[in-house]
Structure 1
Amino acid sequence: MFWFQVERLLNYWPILLKGLGMTISLSLLSLLVGCVIGLLFGIIRAGRIRWLSALTGLYIDLFRGTPFLVQVFICFFILPTVGIELSAFSAGVIALSNLSACFIGEIIASGIKAVPKGQSEAALSSGLRYSQQLRLVILPQALRIVRPSLVGQFILLVKDSSVISAIGIMDLTRSGWMIVQNIPNGLLVFGVVGIGYFIICYPMIFVARRMERRQQTSIL
């Protein structure tokens, strides 16, 4: 019986591959947008303008502290009621990009604050403006410090993308739900789905571990 179900599952591999491709596309696009916005959030959060830093921190905490599924539903179901029509894919990208930007922003802000003050003071004494200090001195060091944390966040982003299946996007998780209607063996079907996510995430897990080891070695 088990091998018969495995054979049946092999007939659905085009659906699984399509879902895998959608998950990768959704994650990559959200990652690119999230990194750009997250970098901006991080700079503002660690910046010198206190009220703007506090306001950005409140925004970040709001989305970090509320369920992601609720955020997805707001983008897909609530925004159209105020005249903002979005496709399921667009709503998913916006929700996922916003959430990742909030986490990335906080990570980058912590990295900026971890850079010794002597670095910015030396840059200031060299005649560099604040924007030049950030671009040439502070950000390169901050990004080096938080690289493992950023890669960890990228992994979480891929896994969070499975929530988007709730609004009908044919990602890897949604593909699994469709297949399990015809093959009543949830452990088999979602075991394969889990392997698909593992294939996407493991290279990043490997990279994150190597980065952590290099940082520990450099500290020692």
Structure 2
Amino acid sequence: MIHIFATEWQPLLQGFGQTLLCSIIALFFSLIIGTMFAIFEIMPNKAMRVIGNIYVEVFRNIPLLVITMFFFVVIPLYVVKISGFAAGTIGLTIYTSAFIAETVRAGIQSVDGGQMEGAQSNGLSFWQAMRHIILPQAFKIVIPPLGNQFINLVKNSSVLAFVAGFDLMYQGNMIANDTLQTMSTFFAVGILYLIITMPLSYYMRHLEKKLA
């Protein structure tokens, strides 16, 4: 394994960078999109609730690889050509956002309903009450499951290997095929994934204790 790190550090470093970049982009946008659809699911407007429910149920129940391949194969054929990295990142964002939506929705519904009524009786709109009163409390409640979703997102970023996204898994496969050192290569890849996921896991635990 040390030999792999010493001789193949350049492709491993490139893969690490691609995995980290994909994870950061997907995490940021999936949190925003997921929160938006979570709010849709609990809105008084029935049409918005239906939209939110359809989005969540559809993308939670389609495999990540299918979503990614749709953007990698179908979209370039009929819309616009995009890279494997972009296709993988978009697929990962959409897939993860559906799970985040359900997590955030559960957090919102665990907040006392009287707080929304009280906020609106004091002149706040639905969106103002959601932003300033409900969501801050909901996020405190759902930090543990959100942390699990973020870690799953990093691990699921390996889907980029199927669409030539040049991530860690893709580079690991290339190195293993070239050097025939399969065990050492994937041990190295596993350690690099841990470098991303372990600090994220510890940070989420720290945040949970801090906000308890």
Using structure 2 for the length normalisation, give the TM-score: 0.92
Superposed displacement of residue 10, structure 1:
1.6
Question: Which residue is 1:18 aligned to?
Answer: 14
Question: Which residue is 1:41 aligned to?
Answer: 37
Contact 2:5–2:188 (CA under 8 A) maintained in structure 1: no
Q: Residue 102 of structure 1 is aligned with which of 98, 101, 106? A: 98
Superposed displacement of residue 125, structure 1:
2.5
Distance in 1 (alpha carbons) for counterparts of 2:15 and 2:172 = 9
Question: Which residue is 2:204 aligned to?
Answer: 208
Q: Residue 157 of structure 2 is aligned with which of 156, 161, 166? A: 161
In structure 1, give the amino acid aligned to 2:165: I
Q: Residue 135 of structure 1 is aligned with which of 126, 131, 135? A: 131
Tell me, yes or no, if structure 1 residue 124 matches structure 2 residue 120. yes
RMSD: 1.7
Percent pairwise identity:
35
Deviations 1:138-167 (A, max 9, x none): 111111111222221111111000011101
Tell me, yes or no, if structure 1 residue 187 matches structure 2 residue 180. no
Q: 5+ residue gaps in structure 1?
A: none
Distance in 2 (alpha carbons) for counterparts of 1:127 and 1:8 = 63
Q: Residue 73 of structure 2 is aligned with which of 56, 77, 94? A: 77
Distance in 1 (alpha carbons) for counterparts of 2:2 and 2:207 = 38
In terms of mean alpha carbon deviation, does 9-18 or 195-204 score higher?
9-18
Contact 1:120–1:133 (CA under 8 A) maintained in structure 2: yes
Tell me, yes or no, if structure 1 residue 88 matches structure 2 residue 87. no
Deviations 1:38-85 (A, max 9, x none): 121111112112232123212211111111111111110011222232
Contact 1:155–1:205 (CA under 8 A) maintained in structure 2: yes
Q: 5+ residue gaps in structure 2?
A: none
Instruction: Decide which structure has the larger Cα Rg and report it.
Output: 1
Contact 1:9–1:183 (CA under 8 A) maintained in structure 2: no
Distance in 1 (alpha carbons) for counterparts of 2:33 and 2:4 = 44
Q: Residue 63 of structure 1 is aligned with which of 39, 51, 59? A: 59
Contact 2:85–2:166 (CA under 8 A) maintained in structure 1: no
Contact 2:23–2:153 (CA under 8 A) maintained in structure 1: yes
In terms of mean alpha carbon deviation, does 53-62 or 95-104 score higher?
53-62
Distance in 1 (alpha carbons) for counterparts of 2:202 and 2:196 = 11
In terms of mean alpha carbon deviation, does 120-129 or 154-163 score higher?
120-129
Q: Which runs of 4+ in 1 moved over 2 A?
A: 5-9, 207-215
Using structure 1 for the length normalisation, give the TM-score: 0.89
Distance in 2 (alpha carbons) for counterparts of 1:26 and 1:131 = 30
Question: Which residue is 1:52 aligned to?
Answer: 48
Distance in 2 (alpha carbons) for counterparts of 1:78 and 1:178 = 26
